[in-house]
Amino acid sequence: MTQSILLFGKSGQVGWELQRSLSVLGHVTALDFDSQDHCGDFSNPDGIVQAVRALRPDVIVNAAAHTAVDKAESEPELAQLLNATTPGVLAEEAARSRAWLVHYSTDYVFDGSGSRPWVETDRPAPLSVYGRTKWEGEQRIQQSGAKHLILRTSWVYAARGATTPDLARPRLASLLPPDALHGLEAATALLADAIADHRHIVVVGDFDCDGATACAVGVRGLRMLGARRVSHAVPNRMVHGYGLSPALVEELKKKALVIVPELNYLGQFSSILRSMGINAVSITQYTGLPFKEQFLV
């Protein structure tokens, strides 16, 4: 008898790939927040319960979540609902119907310290709203009595996104124009002097796929401008913790005269770097940050 699989979060990176990989294991019903036949919207926990009762799956796979780490800081109630409350309700319904629940969580439930890979028995110590709500979701699932499997991912990638110029143009159009970047002239002068003096420039990338991509673009662009000594550093979470951590800064101090952090929340560390005697340029196009240094400082 073919087993029935109910997948939530079908349009996300993980969910998109799971639709294909799960199809060989049984009949898959894949839902997302805008599904019409059955509710896949995690902001509606009652609707999620009704979907499970209507479909009566053998296995429930939850790849739905509030995954915008920075944005979760400004909307903690929504992150709580999507990452903790509704997964808990889903687990209770899975227990009632005797279905297996496979739930995707994150290594953000840890604080990023340590020098070895995490194991299941390590004590969580989340530092962000995203991490705290995902950890609470895990706890609610564990306490529900449902048969469950929780997978803590480190980072994910998929063969999906802006793969053609037409898909990329709307995203590029949303970027800030150069005249909206604060401190542009000072940053440009710092980089120009570094290039002219053949100083060592290190481009620091975020650990996610977008940060690594921006890091590669930054290295290539600086070389095209004539920089001779350009290298890159993408933090290893197991060694350096999260983002531009003190451990990574100490390592970079041995190598770099100029550091260019790329993307997202790394920009908040530029003032710290400068206080340590490191010439720092911070560049980001992300506008939803809760701190002052949003653009280019």
Closest listed residue to residue 102, CA positions, set 151, 31, 57 = 151
* Cα 251 to Cα 248: distance, rounded to the nearest angstrom: 5
296: CB partners within 8 A, 6+ apart: 181, 182, 183, 184, 187, 281, 282, 283, 284
* Cα 246 to Cα 111: distance, rounded to the nearest angstrom: 13
Say which of 104, 108, 130, 265 is annotated catalytic. Answer: 130
Beta bridge partners of 201: 230, 258
φ and ψ at residue 148, rounded to 5 degrees: -145, 160
φ and ψ at residue 117, rounded to 5 degrees: -60, 145
Sheet with 59-62, edge to edge strand ranges: 27-31, 4-8, 59-62, 100-106, 148-153
Which runs of E-coded beta strand occur in 75-219?
Answer: 100-106, 148-153, 201-204
* Cα 96 to Cα 107: distance, rounded to the nearest angstrom: 29
H/E stretch holding 195 reads: helix 184-196
Indicate if 104 belongs to the active site: no
* Cα 128 to Cα 143: distance, rounded to the nearest angstrom: 23
Q: Enter the tokens of residue 234.
A: 């993408």
Beta bridge partners of 104: 151
Q: Enter the tokens of residue 191.
A: 């980089």
State the sign of the Cα–Cα–Cα–Cα dihedral 155, 74, 248, 113. Answer: negative
Give the catalytic positions in this structure.
130
